Structure 1
Amino acid sequence: MQPKEIEAIHRDHIKQKAKERNLILLTQLSIFVVFVGVWEWLARINAINVLIFSYPSKMWELFWAQLLDGRLLPHIGMTVWETVVGFLLGTLLGTLLATLIWWSPFLSRVLDPYLVVLNSMPKVALGPVFIVFLGPGLLSIIAMGCAISVIITTIVIYTSFKEVNQNYVKVVQTLGGNKRQIFRMVILPSTIPAILSTLKVNVGLSWVGVIVGEFLVSKMGLGYLIIYGFQVFNFTLVMVALAIIAVVATLMYQGVALLERRLTSQFK
């Protein structure tokens, strides 16, 4: 096959992939538009209870009004800050703990049943403990966001460490590599996809932990708005807060996905 023919095939492949991505994006947008339109229509014809479910145009009016008067941004900023910190801490601590367990086979055998028990425990039940220990404030909320993701991060990454092809490890050992070099040159690079996948999961888990923490103690944040809206029967405010959470969580997820594509593009 001639080089020009190969280049032409490559261009056609790129065009086909671009068309596929555009079609997927168009389909996703269409589903969203249809969902919002049907929701609005059902509310207009009184087919659903607008007191509970509200409707998009009313949510937009409330969102825009609170955005203009400056009441909404502090709540968004506080929750996003707590979530990002909890997300980073949970991922970092989980990765460090997984590394420590991999490094010490003795520690691995000792901690294995405890990890299973901690993973099965409902993390939100630790909320009162954090409140008493850290106080009813920012630290307890961040601790909730961290605690809900750190154990699953540890288990997933440690499992990925163990599943690395041992032939690669033996090659480094044959060349005189020590355990630190094995980890740096074989274990960590081989598990980058698993770590990035864990980041995606931790986005959702961190949001759950932070929102639950704000339910319990916060006087600021999107979780507080949800509880406040429920208490005063302003379910439009509740739906606005939920919509903002969905949007920001999606943006965080897309940021992790972009990082994944950049880090793994060299392996494709």
Structure 2
Amino acid sequence: MQMSRRVLSVQLLILLLFIGWWELAGQLRWIDVLIFSYPSKVGKQIMQDAITGELWPHLGMTVGETAVGFLLGTLLGTLLAIMIWWSPFLSRVLDPYMVVFNSMPKVALGPIFIVLFGAGFTAIVVTTLSITVIVTTLVVYNSFNEVDANLVKVIRTFGGSRRDVFIKAILPASFGTIVSTLKVNVGMAWVGVIVGEFLVAKIGLGYLIVYGFQVFNFTLVLSSLVIIAVVATAMYQLVVYLERKLIRQR
């Protein structure tokens, strides 16, 4: 507990020092404020947008897209990992395709998704899924394969089926990895959503970033990035809390 408090104190100190230096550098014009702005100006932009109500539709849309992409990506990725573990034939067939698809830049796939699903919510969620599903599948599937072989042999010795092996050995041993994948997918989901909004959105935090660049309002750009950082951190901490509760219940 004492170590955790010390770590948190140092983290907050580093953050405050960074914000303080940034504010000082901006006020004294050590940096180009047109490009880098400074914290008080960014804070004023956020407050102004929040009070006028302009912020909430963009924030709500982005958070909604991220939540859907995050949950669906984790669920579909885990189900796909179970399918390819269950069928060695399917695993050997899909393995090279998953590796190739995972290595492809998702920005390049965005226009294809836009043509297929239209310029809107669905295309952005599919762009997010293109990132989260494959990552989840590879991580969870590798976890299945790394389960102690002796556990599998014991179940097989007592006449257990493949279903018994999965339920009694593979799934329990991989539970920690599946839950940890949630934390990875928080970041992946935000990346996918922002990439999708860069390409197609007319609403959302990604759209505000693009719009800010177009009109040379870099304070708007930075305020959007700050909001993304805060909300993504809150979402990550929520997943950490759920992870602790689930592991504690087990």
Q: TM-score range by the shorter chain?
A: over 0.9
Moved more, 170-179 or 85-94: 170-179
Counterpart of 1:7 in structure 2 is none
Offset of residue 266 of structure 1: 5.9
Query: What amino acid is the match of 2:212?
Result: G
Counterpart of 2:166 in structure 1 is 183
Counterpart of 2:220 in structure 1 is 237
Runs of 4+ in 1 over 6 A off after TM superposition: none
Counterpart of 2:50 in structure 1 is 67
Counterpart of 1:9 in structure 2 is none
The structure with the largest alpha-carbon Rg is 1
Counterpart of 2:233 in structure 1 is 250
Task: Give matches, 1:34-113, under 5 Å.
Answer: 34-113=17-96
CA contact (8 A) 1:226 1:241 kept: yes
Alignment deviations for residues 132-191 of structure 1 (CA, whole Å, 9 cap, x no partner): 000011100111111111111111111110010011112222223222222112111111
Following the alignment from structure 1 to structure 2, what is the Cα–Cα distance between the partners of residues 129 and 180? Answer: 38
C-alpha RMSD of the superposition: 1.2
CA contact (8 A) 1:43 1:49 kept: yes
Secondary structure of 1:191's match? helix
CA contact (8 A) 1:124 1:148 kept: no
Offset of residue 262 of structure 1: 2.0
Following the alignment from structure 2 to structure 1, what is the Cα–Cα distance between the partners of residues 127 and 190? Answer: 10
Q: Does 1:198 align with 2:187?
A: no
Following the alignment from structure 1 to structure 2, what is the Cα–Cα distance between the partners of residues 93 and 266? Answer: 24
CA contact (8 A) 2:59 2:204 kept: yes
CA contact (8 A) 1:86 1:143 kept: yes
> TM-score, normalised on structure 2?
0.97
Query: What amino acid is the match of 2:74?
Result: T
Following the alignment from structure 1 to structure 2, what is the Cα–Cα distance between the partners of residues 181 and 259? Answer: 27
Offset of residue 196 of structure 1: 2.1
Counterpart of 2:152 in structure 1 is 169
Query: What amino acid is the match of 2:194?
Result: I
Secondary structure of 1:238's match? helix
Unaligned stretches of 5+ residues in structure 1 = 1-17
Which of residues 192, 195, 200 is equivalent to 1:209?
192
Following the alignment from structure 2 to structure 1, what is the Cα–Cα distance between the partners of residues 105 and 182? Answer: 20
> TM-score, normalised on structure 1?
0.90
Following the alignment from structure 1 to structure 2, what is the Cα–Cα distance between the partners of residues 126 and 74? Answer: 26
Counterpart of 2:129 in structure 1 is 146
Alignment deviations for residues 11-67 of structure 1 (CA, whole Å, 9 cap, x no partner): xxxxxxx21111111111111111100000011111111000110000111111110
Counterpart of 1:220 in structure 2 is 203
CA contact (8 A) 2:102 2:131 kept: no
Counterpart of 1:20 in structure 2 is 3
Query: What amino acid is the match of 1:193?
Result: G
Following the alignment from structure 1 to structure 2, what is the Cα–Cα distance between the partners of residues 189 and 243? Answer: 38
Task: Give matches, 1:97-136, under 5 Å.
Answer: 97-136=80-119
Secondary structure of 1:140's match? helix
Alignment deviations for residues 70-116 of structure 1 (CA, whole Å, 9 cap, x no partner): 11011101000000101111111111111000000111111111111
Secondary structure of 1:46's match? coil
